[in-house]
Amino acid sequence: MQNSWDELLQKIGIAKTFSDAAQNHKTYTVDDETLKQMINCLGFPLKDIADSEQLLQKIANKRWQSALEAIYVVRTQHKVFDVVLKSAEVEQFSFSVTDGNNKNIVVQYTQSVAETKQIGHSEYTRLQLEIISDLAPQYYNIKVQIGQKTYNAILAVTPDKCYEPEILHSQKLWGFAVQLYSLKSARNWGVGDFTDLQNFAAVCQRVGADVIGVNPLNVLFHDYPENASPYSSISRLFLNPIYIDVEKVTGYKKEYVDTKILEAVRNTTDIDYTAVYNLKIAVLKKIFAEFAADKTSREYKKFAAYCAKAGIDLENLATYQALYSALHDKVYGGWRAWPKELQNPCSAAVGEFKKAHQPEILFFKFLQYVADIQLQNVYQKIEKCGLTVGLYRDLPVGLCKDSAELWSGNDLFIKDCGAGAPPDVFFPKGQKWCLGAFNPYRLKETGYQPFIKILRAAMQGAGALRIDHVMSLMRLYIIPDKSDDGTYIYYNFEDMLGIVTLESYLNKCMVVGESIGNVPDGFIEKIHERGIYSLSVLWAERWNGCGDFKAPYDFPQSAYCSVGTHDMAPLKMRWFGYDIEIMYQLKMLDEAERQDQYRGREDERRRLLGALDWAGVWPQDKPRQSDCIYGEGYPDGIMEAVEAYAASSASAVYLAQLEDIFGVEVLQNLPGTDRDKHPNWRRKLPIKIENYEQNEDFARAVKIINEKRS
């Protein structure tokens, strides 16, 4: 029985044991009850471990129950797929290949018998077919004809590597990593917006930057603006209306705005999401009322065309938002607590709701229409400015479980579980993100369409895409909702890599994988082999994890390098160790752990100063004068020295963080906390965009970075 149980776990792709990436590596053995629960959550009914052999047999038989799989993800030089049919029909079947325009493609192929199997009174054969004709990278349709029966499958022919700008073969680029919401300007309404992004692109052009990395821009909760995490959206297909510059919307009038509220939200230290969002929505509703009154106008026809193109996905999002607004103050617990007939977007009850609430649903569609127009304007501005890479967008690893995506297709996600991460060097307690994650089996059954959709939504118009927690292409740490202990589940890594590579090629968008944390052996080499860049962070580029800092020439070349991330303390805050004290005050660290962290930070300061001295990167007018190893002060010139050190790296792209340059001493996000403990995702930058180029620290930083990148 034990052998069958172990074989079942391996077959389904669930880790019985795993190791973390904390300072003192620990190996965990997952209890059988959790493993059994995970099997059921993936859609494989198993009441008792003793039934493992029976379930194994059922899984083994599944491939023999259909002629074709839903999709075959192949490389251009090895285009192989299989067909299951009765042995007596081997000489009778035929197949054809058509492209995306339904044009028939004549192909040459070879075939061989992969295996045969007796099922009942009939013998079945699984044929392996290899197309030897050249096929360009794209999606094709395979149609197999057996007698009067026709079967279809997708053939995804992928290139060897992701798209990559040619210039990166000969030149090192740089840019900025910014949180769009944090941008402060003289004109915005208390939160960074799409016009700020356009204006920032102009700044980048003038100072020589070619990349703008932004946080996820996806839509969040309309009724709960304070749920502000950009990594916990309600749909990764659409945009957050809070980034709309209301004054640029056709039909805007100054009299629509309460100027007292506007001035108040502009002058808050941190973002007041409720006040900002409600102010914008109030004005946008007034604009929409006049807009919708004339359905014959040219602008309304453009809106209707946008809605038609966005199709069922936009329809489902807008319907979900209207339902949520109607029910959120009456029914608590999200859409799973709604009346059962409203939990299915295809139900008759939802259809009746849509008929009765068309204006509300149209308004939510209008918000997406306007946001999309303004993002397209950002892309046009970036192109006009000539930024080589341009916008570097961010695709979250999951999304809020109480979301439109899960409401629209709940069976696509792992049930009663959420994504997280085991302990690592940066987060020694591990992380329970509670994010909805795709079920790898349902994903393949749908031809990876949900995954393809979110890739396209993020890649369209962008020059690069950061895939959050890129290890999820191979495996993802999943935690049952009612537990704090989880394990890894595995995805079809080759298929997932192939889809990413193909979409990158088709959209001319390079791909960067966020690979900080528990990275499997050989994983980085594998994604590099497919042209996916990794993410390099100064604080992680140390020998043996906690030894001396690596020399800039030892940093990975196929990488986007930065000093830190939005989840890490900015340079000045990290130097003083304020983040350690915050975690201690919030009881995220006990006294022993606190002291251990302080000792580690002291050692980090010593090694960092040594690396900066060795590299000779201290500014000439601010030579090293003191150690401040114990955090008793902030060394003059250290910002410039650190920027010079990181910008000197061998990495293809360097991303500077404005928080480091401006000496910010607060965290954008403290993982493992919500806003009741720490003001995550609410920090405004201290300097307005209009003043960047007059700011001495900014000017010094960009001068040094340009020197080191040339």
How is 122-175 classified by DSSP, letter by letter?
Answer: EEEEEEEEEE-S---SEEEEEEEEETTEEEEEEEEEE-SS----GGGGT--EEE
Beta carbons within 8 Å of 688's beta carbon, 6+ residues apart: 184, 185, 186
Q: How many CA atoms lie within 13 A of 1 on its CB side?
A: 4
CA pair distance 188, 684, nearest whole angstrom: 12
What is the average pLDDT across 415-428? Answer: 84
Q: What is the pLDDT of residues 355-405, one digit of tens each?
A: 999 999 999 999 999 999 999 999 999 999 999 999 999 999 999 999 999
Q: Quick check: 247 and 279 in contact, CB under 8 A?
A: no
The one-letter amino acid at 329 = D
Residue 425 pLDDT grade (very low, low, confident, very high; cuts 50, 70, 90)? confident
What pLDDT was estimated at residue 22? 76
CA pair distance 361, 367, nearest whole angstrom: 10
What pLDDT was estimated at residue 125? 96
Residue 69 pLDDT grade (very low, low, confident, very high; cuts 50, 70, 90)? very high
Distance of CA 698 to the CA centre of its chain: 29
What pLDDT was estimated at residue 550? 98
What is the average pLDDT across 620-636? Answer: 88
149 and 124 fall within a common domain: yes
Does residue 551 fall inside a structural domain?
Answer: no
Q: Which residues pair with 149 in a beta bridge?
A: 146
Does residue 476 fall inside a structural domain?
Answer: no
Helix (H) / strand (E) containing 71: strand 71-75
CA pair distance 317, 234, nearest whole angstrom: 8
CA pair distance 26, 272, nearest whole angstrom: 41
Tokens of 709: 């990148």
Decide if pLDDT at 27 tops 70: yes
Among 98, 70, 100, smallest CA distance to 82 is for 70
CA pair distance 648, 318, nearest whole angstrom: 47
CA pair distance 477, 487, nearest whole angstrom: 5
pLDDT > 70: percent of the chain:
100
What is the average pLDDT across 57-78? Answer: 95
The DSSP code sequence of 456-514 is HHHHTT-SEEEETTGGGGTEEEEEETT-S--EEEE--HHHHHHHHHHHHHHHT-EEEE-
Residue 492 pLDDT grade (very low, low, confident, very high; cuts 50, 70, 90)? very high
Decide if pLDDT at 315 tops 90: yes
Number of domains in the chain: 2
Please, what is the average pLDDT of the chain? 95
Q: Which residues constitute the domain of residue 135?
A: 77-158
Helix (H) / strand (E) containing 534: strand 533-537
What pLDDT was estimated at residue 373? 98
Tokens of 104: 């028939």
Residue 1 pLDDT grade (very low, low, confident, very high; cuts 50, 70, 90)? low
85 and 44 fall within a common domain: no
Q: What is the pLDDT of residues 682-709, one digit of tens each?
A: 999 999 999 999 999 999 999 999 999 9
Q: What is the pLDDT of residues 132-183, one digit of tens each?
A: 999 999 999 999 999 889 999 999 999 999 999 999 999 999 999 999 999 9
Tokens of 82: 């299989």
Residue 194 pLDDT grade (very low, low, confident, very high; cuts 50, 70, 90)? very high
Q: What is the pLDDT of residues 634-672, one digit of tens each?
A: 999 999 999 999 999 999 999 999 999 999 999 999 988
Decide if pLDDT at 25 tops 90: no
Does residue 188 fall inside a structural domain?
Answer: no
Q: Where are the alpha helices (DSSP H) in 255-297?
A: 259-266, 273-293
Residue 434 pLDDT grade (very low, low, confident, very high; cuts 50, 70, 90)? confident
Helix (H, G, I), strand (E, B) or coil at 110: strand
Does residue 142 fall inside a structural domain?
Answer: yes
Does residue 122 fall inside a structural domain?
Answer: yes
Pseudo-torsion of CA 108, 112, 113, 114, nearest 10°? -90
14 and 58 fall within a common domain: yes
Tell which of 30, 62, 94 closes a domain. Answer: 62
DSSP secondary structure letter of residue 240: -
Q: What is the pLDDT of residues 252-298, one digit of tens each?
A: 999 999 999 999 999 999 999 999 999 999 999 999 999 999 999 99
Q: Quick check: 185 and 192 in contact, CB under 8 A?
A: yes
87 and 144 fall within a common domain: yes
What pLDDT was estimated at residue 428? 73
CA pair distance 99, 133, nearest whole angstrom: 14
123 and 52 fall within a common domain: no
Q: What is the pLDDT of residues 320-363, one digit of tens each?
A: 999 999 999 999 899 999 999 999 999 999 999 999 999 999 99
Tell which of 121, 140, 158 closes a domain. Answer: 158
Residue 111 pLDDT grade (very low, low, confident, very high; cuts 50, 70, 90)? very high
* This prediction's pTM: 0.95
The one-letter amino acid at 445 = E
Tell which of 23, 39, 62 closes a domain. Answer: 62
Q: How many CA atoms lie within 13 A of 226 on its CB side?
A: 8
Q: What is the pLDDT of residues 453-471, one digit of tens each?
A: 999 999 999 999 999 999 9
Pseudo-torsion of CA 374, 379, 380, 383, nearest 10°? 160
Does residue 547 fall inside a structural domain?
Answer: no
The one-letter amino acid at 378 = V
CA pair distance 129, 145, nearest whole angstrom: 14
Q: Quick check: 202 and 385 in contact, CB under 8 A?
A: yes
Angle between helix 298-327 and helix 358-385 axes, rounded to 10 deg = 120
Does residue 471 fall inside a structural domain?
Answer: no
Does residue 19 fall inside a structural domain?
Answer: yes
CATH number at residue 133: 2.60.40.10
Write the burial class of residue 346 (CB in 10 Å: 0-12 exposed, 13-18 middle, 19+ buried). Answer: exposed
Q: How many CA atoms lie within 13 A of 480 on its CB side?
A: 15
Beta carbons within 8 Å of 694's beta carbon, 6+ residues apart: none
